[in-house]
């Protein structure tokens, strides 16, 4: 009888201890799941940003605005002619502004998390192109005034005059000389940004831009003036405008290319 009593007490104690442990672990698991869910929601909220876009009526700019809105960002499109941007959205504000005047940009940059520039300027055979440096100077000065310190802009492969030696003959001897005035000013703008220590900038260098659908293809990147293969030759010649916009927007939550210029292409 004594042994039976001891056995019953021990069994009861073990069952009670197991039940208490089970209930405790269940509460811990519920708490962890709740915490993870809460953190996921916080991350999602934080990832939605306010951005200003220069060049929003251009072909790449329109792609960037469209994708930014799809991702839930709040977009201020600063354009010369608001009528050219026909997109409407609750999170889109279209304003008129002068990209060469910092006083015109300041009120639209205020409160933004980042500035994107998809500006493009035509080639010139008689006069030097200056739009890239002038607009970037105005943008940087305006950003300093209103305490915005992130800008993501786009230029092109081969902005350095000596970087096209491995390009195809057609590109090297025909295309690059034709667009050299544009590439030279892009190069000057990149040099200006490299001397800008107080702003977190990224220059995205795509190859030729195509008006084809956006893909989900993986990006190949290189901190240089084009993306080389194992032999140092350029990989491909073109990329979708939508893919350029996709890469630029990915930099909002990625510091890998901060204060760097990155050449891109898709696989």
pLDDT of residue 126: 87
What are 114's strand-pairing partners?
51
CATH code of 50-266, in short, is 3.40.50.720
Confidence of residue 233 (pLDDT cuts 50, 70, 90): very high
As a whole number of angstroms, the distance between CA 103 and CA 122 comes to 25
pLDDT digits (tens, 9 = 90+) for 200-216: 999 999 999 999 999 99
Q: Which of 137, 156, 132 is nearest to 238 (CA)?
A: 156
Mean pLDDT, residues 136-158 taken together? 99
pLDDT of residue 8: 54
Calculate what percentage of the chain has a pLDDT beyond 70: 83
As a whole number of angstroms, the distance between CA 124 and CA 144 comes to 31
pLDDT of residue 47: 78
pLDDT of residue 125: 87
pLDDT digits (tens, 9 = 90+) for 105-126: 999 999 999 999 999 999 998 8
Mean pLDDT, residues 51-61 taken together? 98
pLDDT of residue 46: 45
Confidence of residue 43 (pLDDT cuts 50, 70, 90): very low
Mean pLDDT, residues 225-237 taken together? 97
pLDDT at 19 over 90: no
Q: Picking from 14-18, 153-157, 212-216, which range would have the lowest pLDDT averaged per residue?
A: 14-18
Mean pLDDT, residues 252-264 taken together? 96
pLDDT at 44 over 50: no
Confidence of residue 38 (pLDDT cuts 50, 70, 90): very low
Q: Which of 60, 56, 113, 114 is nearest to 86 (CA)?
A: 56
């Amino acid at each position: 009888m004594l042994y039976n009593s001891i056995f019953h007490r021990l069994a009861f104690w073990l069952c009670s201890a197991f039940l208490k442990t089970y209930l405790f672990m269940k509460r811990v698991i519920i708490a962890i799941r709740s915490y993870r869910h809460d953190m996921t929601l916080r991350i999602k909220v934080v990832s939605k940003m306010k951005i200003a876009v220069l060049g929003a009526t251009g072909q790449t700019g329109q792609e960037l605005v469209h994708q930014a809105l799809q991702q839930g960002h709040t977009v201020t499109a600063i354009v010369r002619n608001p009528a050219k941007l026909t997109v409407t959205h609750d999170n889109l504000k279209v304003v008129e502004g002068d990209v060469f005047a910092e006083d015109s940009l300041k009120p639209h940059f205020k409160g933004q998390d980042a500035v994107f520039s998809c500006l493009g300027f035509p080639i010139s055979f008689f006069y030097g192109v200056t739009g890239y440096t002038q607009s970037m100077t105005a943008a940087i000065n305006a950003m300093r005034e209103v305490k915005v310190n992130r800008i993501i802009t786009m230029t092109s492969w081969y902005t350095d005059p000596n970087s096209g030696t491995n390009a195809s003959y057609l590109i090297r001897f025909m295309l690059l000389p034709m667009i050299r005035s544009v590439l030279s000013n892009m190069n000057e703008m990149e040099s200006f940004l490299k001397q800008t220590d107080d702003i977190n900038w990224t220059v995205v260098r795509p190859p030729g831009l195509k008006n084809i659908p956006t893909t989900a293809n993986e990006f190949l990147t290189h901190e240089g003036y084009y993306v080389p293969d194992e032999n140092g030759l350029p990989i491909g010649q073109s990329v979708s405008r939508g893919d350029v916009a996709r890469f630029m927007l990915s930099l909002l939550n990625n510091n890998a290319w901060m204060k760097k210029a990155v050449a891109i292409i898709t696989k």
